[in-house]
Structure 1
Amino acid sequence: MISETVSVAVPGSVELPGDMEVPPSPRGVVLFVHGSGSSRHSPRNRAVAEDLRRQGWATLLTDLLSEEEERTDAVTGQYRFDIALLAERTVASVDWLSKYPVTEALPVHLFGASTGAAAALVAAAARSGPIVSVVSRGGRPDLAGDTLERVNVPVLMLVGGHDEQVLQLNQDAAQHLHPEHRIHIIPGATHLFEEPGALQQVAAAAHEWFLHAAETQLNRNNPR
């Protein structure tokens, strides 16, 4: 297992710290895109990442804001809904993975939470080569706006069964997605998936989706 703290440079902007962990013979790499007011230390995303590593996925959890930006955002909320900024930094992380020796040949899957789901979808539209799928957890894909029409990788939207407002927003966004997509409801879960077993269900559904997307890409690249 490789485990190290890394630094992702955003051209002309900031350097973002990240936690890179790679199990032996990884299936691919999952980049976590955090949501409103969160960071790479999100306990929910870290729990999902740990489950995914046990299934053979490498994971990268990065901050999307600098320390100064985080302090400003905590007071003003200035950056948490700046989807263009968050997406730009997600793209920089994807580009970093394509140059990191251990992951440069691996397919990239994005796991976005809350507003991070919108940033992940915008990034997927910009980097559909290395990125092969997107999973949204309690996400706001609607905030991706017109970019939803340009996404061309499979998208899984995970929503808590008691998170009715977000479910409606996901259903509305799904109407603008052209590639394969699915809304998967986690029964009994609320927006933060704090209920016992909810995050394990999230991780299991994400794992299956990543496998399916990888197989779909393989079949597309090697038609019979």
Structure 2
Amino acid sequence: MNIRMEELQRIEINGLMLEGLLAMPPGARGLVLFAHGSGSSRHSPRNNFVAQVLCDHGMGSLLMDLLRPEEDTDPAARFDIALLTERLVAATRWLRKQPLTRHLPLGYFGASTGAAAALRAAAQLGPLVHAVVSRGGRPDLAGTAALAKVACPTLLLVGSLDTEVLALNRQAARQMQAQVQLTVVPGATHLFEEPGTLEAVARHAAQWFEAHCIRTH
């Protein structure tokens, strides 16, 4: 297991201070910005687990709270994809200005509604985003126009028992023009709580980012 440098970052976005945990392994070759789903945060044990696996593969991570605690109790804010996207874009531009991260290829890891924000941000930012991974995501909430504009390779991970979300992901994949792969994790429900399923998510994500979001020189 790589020993990683961890620092709590406070990022000002439109007058609000939002917090994120930046973790960097020695000699990081890529960087993944996590967009959490509704009701989750940078403290999410699932996303922290995935971030540690990415660290072991030489990738840094920023686990970002896109909503303030008081906003996260408001269902309207949780599903405000435009707001989440705006803040994700702002966090991305912040990372592009930091000496430690500005030179690294950047990818997004989005869960649930965070996946919709990740895809919409990727559509907006174009070549700044090298890859997207969605875990149990709602890519349909990104909207047809945004899905068609995503240019980077996208991996959609869905549990085989999460049937409604699986159908929505299949529909979204058909609307995308970029390289897209839908991978079904056997025996997994929406939160990937079943034994071995989160490990499968982390393994698939690491392979995807290694293929598409790693500095090679």
Runs of 4+ in 1 over 3 A off after TM superposition: none
**Structure 2 Cα separation of the partners of residues 162 and 93 of structure 1:** 33
Amino acid at match of 2:105: P
**Structure 2 Cα separation of the partners of residues 3 and 19 of structure 1:** 7
Change over 3 Å in CA distance of 1:47–1:214 after alignment to 2: closer
Aligned equivalent of 2:206: 207
Aligned equivalent of 2:156: 157
- One of 110, 113, 119 as aligned partner of 1:112: 110
Amino acid at match of 2:108: L
Amino acid at match of 1:150: K
State yes or no: 1:147 paired with 2:146: yes
Secondary structure of 1:6's aligned partner: strand
**Structure 1 Cα separation of the partners of residues 91 and 19 of structure 2:** 10
Report 1:1-224 matches (<5 A). Answer: 1-10=4-13, 12-71=14-73, 73=74, 77-145=75-143, 146-214=145-213
Shift of 1:134: 0.4
Shift of 1:149: 1.0
Matched residues, percent identical? 51
Extract unaligned runs of 5+ from structure 2: none
**Structure 2 Cα separation of the partners of residues 81 and 69 of structure 1:** 11
Amino acid at match of 1:29: L
Amino acid at match of 1:61: L
**Structure 2 Cα separation of the partners of residues 125 and 113 of structure 1:** 17
Aligned length: 212
**Structure 2 Cα separation of the partners of residues 159 and 131 of structure 1:** 22
Q: TM-score, normalised to structure 1's length?
A: 0.91
Amino acid at match of 1:40: R
Amino acid at match of 2:185: I
Amino acid at match of 1:169: L
Shift of 1:42: 1.0
Shift of 1:70: 2.4
Q: TM-score, normalised to structure 2's length?
A: 0.94
Shift of 1:78: 1.7
Secondary structure of 1:129's aligned partner: helix
Aligned equivalent of 1:222: none
Secondary structure of 2:97's aligned partner: coil
Shift of 1:21: 0.6
Segment of structure 1 superposing worse, 138-147 or 206-215: 206-215
Secondary structure of 1:78's aligned partner: helix
Shift of 1:13: 3.7
Shift of 1:93: 1.1
**Structure 1 Cα separation of the partners of residues 200 and 136 of structure 2:** 13
Shift of 1:69: 1.4
**Structure 1 Cα separation of the partners of residues 142 and 82 of structure 2:** 9
**Structure 1 Cα separation of the partners of residues 78 and 125 of structure 2:** 22
**Structure 2 Cα separation of the partners of residues 133 and 189 of structure 1:** 24
Do the aligned partners of 2:5 and 2:24 also contact (CA within 8 Å) in 1? yes
Secondary structure of 2:188's aligned partner: coil
- The C-alpha deviation readout for 1:106-157, integer Å capped at 9, x for no partner, is 0111000001000000110111222101000000000001211111111100
**Structure 1 Cα separation of the partners of residues 210 and 51 of structure 2:** 15
Aligned equivalent of 1:221: none
